[in-house]
Chains A and B, each alone.
Chain A
């Protein structure tokens, strides 16, 4: 009963924001989008904010979404410069850059030169009339089960749109930067991304989430990726929200025959973070790689849920998630691999390893396999460990100071994830970032 009341109270805030949105987009929003948004709101009001009684949210409480009214973020009042965006990290990344501030596309901060004129990349608003948008937007997000994805859908106003036509290979990465400038307390934005990869196409898309300002805010992101036959998509999610932020993010990928989808997630920011990746391998010959690294400290809480759904035969999936937890941080990893009856000859590997740097840090890890086919090779495993004291002594016995030895071993724990990042301009800054993270974590430890 209490829950119902809480949802109903909150709903008022969302409805208010939604009405204002409706007025803003009236007359220029296509009918199909309005219908999808309405359906999103309907599902959200039916499902309500997840509670810890929900098995999928057992260890991650969103109770503060009920305690506080999160209002749709207003445009940032202060002017953000392109230099500021660049200085926030990963400024070595060349190529197309789309920048969103508080959910709004900023053309002045963006650079649309993708290196290939054939690629459509820009504000979703500019592509709403395209067939791709109507055919795909909102088609893959799981509105039946995911209340927050439904809420995001209800608030589609702007977002990132990337379409790679058939047979086009984009050399330079396409970088999507979602910035929150938190000038007021409890503001929310709902970043939305649609990536449509044509037949035989190839591209790398990087999503970065960052925050400025000291106020608490909430980012509720949804990304949909759909690949046509034989498309190769490299997807990166770099979550560097402000340490006071809530981040909930849902990535849905749908793979067609012989396609390859590689997801690399680096998650270090935010106070309360939930990141879901759901991949459905719809036809034969697909390959899916999910690599992830989370590194948290202080009182951060970070939760990753992944589902890889093998529907058809001869597909591979390879999942490797690593976690480093320091301070009083807590983490959750829940990875599910589903192998359906028709998915014979599936080759699936799933691994989650965690390094606890402090006695007060905690991780709940649960790799799961659901296999209905009988001719498959599936392995999974999870480990939780501390820094190896024998290795520490070995390094120290060579003259390396204890703190440096600890940094070195912490970094080494994540090294194979870093090495798997094959975007050169990304690897160096990531290495630097991680090294400094490790050092900082130690100072605060």
Chain B
């Protein structure tokens, strides 16, 4: 579904990603872990189409298409979804209007019929109930004045409505208390299906107790320095990121 080949990315002429290789198949859940500043969020943003970064080399193929050639909205319309680490506040636009516009644009692009206001509300209420969100959230402006936890929940709510094929969750667990974490994880697990792939970007192993990944990759200094199964996350938890940085440094030695 997603093939990342030797992807290098710069921002302000600084190298952030230095040759990422990653292959994600339908139905898989991949966790990308790593210390702060390792490039995790950059990878997530680049996949969603942010123009803050410049791709200096490499390729990304999504369902046989060159992902990097697509605009952010085209990517979303083709099923890519990014749950933001820092969701943006948009005063003056209600959650309801925003999300209905988004869903109907995506449905239209897929050749599906648009949902009318009533059908949309029914769908939204169902998804909100699952995340134990208050109905009043729909009337509020997008993320405006939301607490950190509310914002994260709102991201997962949007994902539940848009039903993407490839979901990238950027530190969705950061700042959540354990109850909220469980709810959010349930929301994510509900979307797990043989047709869908999920990339979970996280700093903490804690999330992976609830969303059990098929693969774990460790990112350090812009490179994937280690890949494995879920036991790698536990090892990381035990030994800390210092261990990985040593591994990365050794890699550097080997390369040079």
Contacts and interface: CB of A to CB of B under 8 A. Distances in A.
Interface size class of A (residues with CB under 8 A): 20 to 34
A396 interface: yes
A415 B73 contact: no
A416 B92 CA distance: 7
A396 B106 CA distance: 11
A409 interface: yes
Interface in B70-88: 71-73, 75-77, 81-82, 84, 87-88
A390 B98 CA distance: 15
Interface in A104-146: none
A409 to B, nearest CB: 7
Nearest to A408: B93
A405 B88 CA distance: 14
B245 to A, nearest CB: 31
Contact of A412 (B49, B73, B81, B91): B91
A395 B93 CA distance: 11
A393 B72 contact: yes
Given A398-B158, A400-B101, A390 B93 contact: no
Contacts of B93: 408-409, 411-412, 415
A388 B92 CA distance: 13
A397 B48 contact: yes
B92 A411 contact: yes
B50 interface: yes
B102 A398 contact: yes
A391 B92 contact: no
A404 interface: yes
Contacts of A416: 91-92
Contacts of B76: 396-399
A400 to B, nearest CB: 6
Contacts of A398: 76, 98-99, 102, 158, 162
B90 A395 contact: yes
Interface in A364-408: 388, 390-391, 393-402, 404-405, 408
Interface of B: 48-51, 71-73, 75-77, 81-82, 84, 87-88, 90-93, 98-99, 101-103, 105-106, 109, 141, 158, 162
30 contacts: A391-B88, A391-B90, A393-B72, A393-B88, A396-B71, A396-B73, A397-B73, A397-B81, A397-B82, A398-B98, A398-B99, A398-B102, A398-B162, A399-B73, A399-B105, A399-B106, A399-B109, A400-B102, A401-B105, A402-B73, A404-B105, A405-B73, A408-B98, A411-B92, A412-B90, A412-B91, A412-B92, A412-B93, A413-B92, A414-B92
Q: Which 6 pairs show the lowest CB-CB distances between chains A and B?
A: A412-B92, A415-B92, A399-B76, A396-B72, A398-B102, A394-B88
Given A391-B88, A408-B101, A409-B93, 7 more contacts: A393-B51, A396-B72, A397-B75, A399-B77, A399-B103, A411-B92, A412-B93
